[in-house]
Amino acid sequence: MRTASFLWLLLTVHCLLAQTPPTAPLSQADEFLRQGIAAQRQGDLTSAIDDYRRALAIQPGLAEARANLGAALSAAGQFDAAIEEDKRALSSAAGNIALRMNLALAYYKKGDMEHAHAELVAVHGARPLEISTAVLLGYTDIKLRKDAEAAAMLAPLEVGHESNMDLEYVLALALMQSGKEPEGLPRMEKVAKATNSADAYFVAGTARLHRREFHEARADLDAAIDLHGSFAKLYTMAGQARDALGDTSAAQTAFEEALREDAKDFTANLYLGTMRLKDRNMDAAKPLLDTALQLQPTDPIARFQMAKLNGMTGKYAEAAAALEDMEKADPNWIDPHIDLAAIYYKLHRSEDGQRERDIVQQIEAKQQKAGPPKQ
């Protein structure tokens, strides 16, 4: 979210107030205030902060200096000091909405969403039709897991502001995270296309992947990659979408890139290890599957793929023990039964192998009777 634009708008308002032509000669405090404004406009926040403090040392009640000091401190990343100054300014001007917005922004940039939300509620109450405030309030709602509240607040403001991409982004995110993905996804993809936003494409693509809409997921995630998106898991998600569509080569490329960015990516290690194993490249598969198991030792898919590897490399006893554990944990999972039947025959345990084959036939019969799984 581009909150900086809101911040600089408020700074401009304060500067304009301070630059109103005086009716009497400038006092020393006024001169420090003027110097602070000039420094702040030039981006010299250190000098601006010093000048505002000098002005306040002479005239503690100089409201413009107090307001601008809080904004300058926030812009300099000194959020606690900014919050203190904004509160002091509000103590004598509780109805000043611009000051309250400054305080909300300081809390927001600090990452204190609860206090930011409380101040933004007050600002929004005073300015219910101001889109920028509503957008920021909606985003703090999302951060506080109040997605449905954000959607309910923003939706009525959308009419006539469909081209406001900040509004569309936050509304889309609120809808998607409150269980209304069919409404949110088209908005998110509209934002992505209108702004060439890798972030929006990534959010949309991730949601499409979870909905098993693999063609749409791949298009969105590949678009994020083309825009040089650098989000954690981007290449992993893109690899999963490509794999689901049967494009193994492109999927491998994506997973390899994911591991270059994060060698401890569980999903990338598991998928790429499984692909190497399918290609019977056991030497390449083993370190990948080893890493996956180190990261998530109880993951059933990682354990199953390692059991397959052990069976393919002659470690039949280890493979059998792992597959037997999997059967106990999930008796209706057919794959361990299939592999275990083969392993038992290699261990010359033909009766056990036949028993596993019979179990496979029983599970298949149940699956046929139940019909295809619901999507």
Query: What's the Cα-to-Cα distance from 312 to each of 248, 274, 287, 301, 319, rounded to whole Å?
Result: 22, 13, 15, 16, 9
- Domain regions of the chain by residue span: 1-127, 300-369
Residues in the chain: 375
Calculate the CA 108 to chain-centre distance.
17
- The pLDDT assigned to 94 comes to 87
Q: What is the pLDDT along the chain (375 residues), one digit of tens a residue?
A: 333 333 333 333 333 334 433 434 558 999 999 999 999 999 999 999 999 999 999 999 998 999 999 999 999 999 999 999 999 999 988 899 999 999 999 999 999 999 999 999 999 999 999 999 999 999 999 999 999 999 999 999 999 999 999 999 999 999 999 999 999 999 999 999 999 999 999 999 999 999 999 999 999 999 999 998 888 899 999 999 999 999 999 999 999 999 999 999 999 999 999 999 999 999 999 999 999 999 999 999 999 999 999 999 999 999 999 999 999 999 999 999 999 999 999 999 999 999 999 999 999 999 998 877 655
Is 86:103 a contact under the CB 8 Å cutoff?
Answer: yes
Which residue type does 195 have?
T
Q: Which CATH number fits domain 300-369: 1.25.40.10, 1.20.1250.40, 2.160.10.10, 1.20.120.140?
A: 1.25.40.10
Are 1-127 and 300-369 the same fold in CATH? yes
Closest CA to 222 of 242, 208, 207: 242
- The pLDDT assigned to 229 comes to 82
- The pLDDT assigned to 158 comes to 97
Biggest distance spanned by C-alpha atoms of the chain:
106
Residue 246 Rama label (left phi>0; alpha psi -120 to 50; beta):
left
Is 153:123 a contact under the CB 8 Å cutoff?
Answer: no
Closest CA to 108 of 128, 72, 84, 79: 79
Whether domain 1-127 has CATH 3.40.50.300: the reply is no
Closest CA to 250 of 272, 280, 265, 274: 272
Residues 6+ apart with CB under 8 A from 122: 100
- The pLDDT assigned to 374 comes to 59
Closest CA to 310 of 301, 297, 321: 321
